[in-house]
Amino acid sequence: MISLANKVIILPKSEACLSGPSMANSTEIKEFDVIILGAGPGGCTSALTLRNSGLRVAMIDKSSFPRDKVCGELMARKTVVTLESVLPGFEKEFKNFEMTRVLKHTRVHFKGKVLQFDWVSESYTCPRIEFDNYMLNLVKSSTNTSVFTATVPDVLTRDADGVTLTIKNSNVVFKSKMLIGADGANSIVARQFADKTINRDHYLGSVRAYYSNIKDMDSTVSEVFFNTRFQFNYLWVFPVRGNQANVGFGMVSSDISKQKINLKDAFYEHFKLSPDLGDRFHDATQVTPLEGFGVPLGSSVGTTSGDRFVLVGDAASLSNPLSGTGMGNAVISGKLAAEQAMKCFKKNDFSGEHMKLYDDSIQKAIINDLMASFRMQKLISKMPFMLDIVFWLGKYDRVKKYIQSVA
């Protein structure tokens, strides 16, 4: 595998950017077998999975790369295992990447008590601006995918022949037999093909900033702080590059509205409410602005496929309702989406009925676990005292193992 992790590959403008002024008065049609909308971890995994399929693949993203994606940036072991199965050699190279942090433990804080999990399987952090660019460069170096960045989707249509995508401020039109929607929480595919809208009962509102010089920070330990001041919530501290940490706070959006909470104010209030947290951050430096982002939770997945399309990652609402993490499920669903595409071309069947094979595969691989996490999240949300019980029971290995299985 060729490592391009530290390089930014920029295609000529005529190939890489189609969102500028019209290049000609007539329509230019670009035809492919599969279009992947979105060049994040899910979309890149789909492209890598299709690299030996013989299919003509295009990947389109509205942003120029490298670009940041506000996120908690924690990756479970399954993320790397899945990518290793898609691209042998990935795990070794990724672990050696200078921006990767390997985490071995998690400490959960509540009312001055600490519950530590020593994971059998490690987890990872890597800043999204680095990780997403890393993945995109692997697609460019390891596949024949045609990559179009800074290319803003406009209107999607479907007919008996396939999918048509127009581009904003451009005369270019893309056509394909099938579409993989990996375009995130505000997915145009989910809106236009699956009629998805934001459900605040199943949506996480979050804020995040990077901090440096946090007292007693261990680069192998992720930390989560619960606080009874708010409805089900948590503040996280995840080590990233250098001596920095990704520090964020999240709550279910409907609870934010009901309690009329300003997320940024609530974030800073945590340091006042928790003496331990306040002490550790007393001399810390906030090195980036506090930025907000939303996460569609897998507590209400809804439509994940239909005639000629499948949804991946946040576009399919596959983030964990308990932890808020989603990159692992984006990668897994990206692989399963690509495998479904190959099945469709083998059978020459792109119907919604045939796409149910994809629905079944993510049900088994992802959604069943999401529902277990949701049950735990609802229990803690309705009965906050359950956290006291969990911390009391946490001394038992059997309980710890169960928590690890749903987190």
Closest by alpha carbon to 168, among 65, 12, 309, 62?
A: 62
pLDDT digit string, tens, across residues 202-250: 898 999 999 999 999 999 999 988 877 766 578 999 999 888 999 999 9
Dihedral Cα 14, 16, 22, 23, nearest 10 deg = 10
Q: Are residues 244 and 204 in the same domain?
A: yes
**Are 230 and 148 found together in one domain?**
no
207 and 172: one domain?
no
Angle at 174 between CA 170 and CA 177, to 5 degrees: 165
Write the pLDDT tens digit of every residue in 61-107: 999 999 999 999 999 899 999 999 999 999 999 999 999 999 999 88
Query: Is residue 341 within 8 Å of 311, Cβ to Cβ?
Result: no
Rounded Cα–Cα distance for residues 233 and 225 (Å): 9
**What is the DSSP pairing of strand 244-252 with strand 285-286?**
unpaired
pLDDT band at 276 (very low <50, low <70, confident <90, very high): confident
Q: What are phi and psi of 173, to 5 degrees?
A: -125, 130
Helix axes 368-382, 386-393, angle to 10 degrees: 120
Say if residues 240 and 219 touch (Cβ distance below 8 Å): no
Predicted local confidence at residue 315, as pLDDT: 96
Percent of the chain whose pLDDT exceeds 90: 65
Residues pairing with 125 in the sheet: 74, 101
Concatenated DSSP letters for 246-268? EEEEEEEHHHHHHTT--HHHHHH
Pair (72, 91) in one structural domain: yes
**Range in 100-114, 154-168, 170-184 the model is least confident about:** 100-114
Which SS3 state, helix, strand or coil, does residue 142 take? helix
- Are 240 and 338 in a shared domain? no
Same domain, 275 and 169: no
φ, ψ (nearest 5 deg) of residue 169: 55, 35
The rounded distance, in Å, linking the Cα atoms of 341 and 56 is 12
Whether residues 311 and 280 share a domain: the answer is no
The pLDDT, as a whole number, for residue 107 is 86
Residue 229: CA count within 13 A, CB half-sphere: 16
What pLDDT score does 351 carry? Answer: 97
How many folded domains does the chain comprise? 2
Q: Which two tokens stand for residue 240?
A: 């990233």
In a domain, 6, yes or no: no
> Is 8 a domain residue?
no
C-alpha torsion sign, points 274, 280, 283, 285: negative
Q: 258 in a domain, yes or no?
A: yes
DSSP letter (8 states) at residue 350: -
Q: What is the pLDDT of residue 38?
A: 98
- Which residues constitute the domain of residue 321? 13-99+126-198+306-372
pLDDT in tens, 100-151: 999 999 888 877 778 777 876 789 999 999 999 999 999 999 999 999 999 9
In this structure, is residue 377 part of a structural domain? Answer: no
Confidence check: pLDDT of 401 > 70 = no
Task: Give helix 41-49 / helix 327-347 axis angle, nearest 10°.
Answer: 40
pLDDT-derived band at 403 (thresholds 50, 70, 90) equals: low
The answer as to whether 160 is a domain residue is yes
Residue 4 lies in a domain: no
Q: Are residues 186 and 330 located together in one domain of the fold?
A: yes
pLDDT of 29 above 80: yes
Residue 223 lies in a domain: yes
Confidence of residue 387 (pLDDT cuts 50, 70, 90): low
Identify the CA nearest to 56 among candidates 136, 162, 149: 162
Same-domain status, 92 and 178: yes
Instruction: Answer yes or no: do 171 and 38 share one domain.
Output: yes
pLDDT above 50 for 22: no
| Per-residue pLDDT, 231 | 63
Q: How confident is the model at residue 386 (pLDDT cuts 50, 70, 90)?
A: low
Q: Is 1 part of any domain?
A: no
On whether both 150 and 18 belong to a single domain, the answer is: yes
Q: What is the pLDDT of residue 151?
A: 97
Angle between helices 397-406 and 386-393 (to 10 degrees): 120
Mean of pLDDT over the chain: 87
State pLDDT tens for residues 294-304: 999 888 888 99
Q: What percent of the chain has pLDDT over 70?
A: 85
CATH of the domain at 229: 3.30.9.10
Whether a cis peptide bond, with omega within 30° of 0, leads into 66 is: yes
* CATH at 47: 3.50.50.60
* 79 and 186 assigned to the same domain: yes
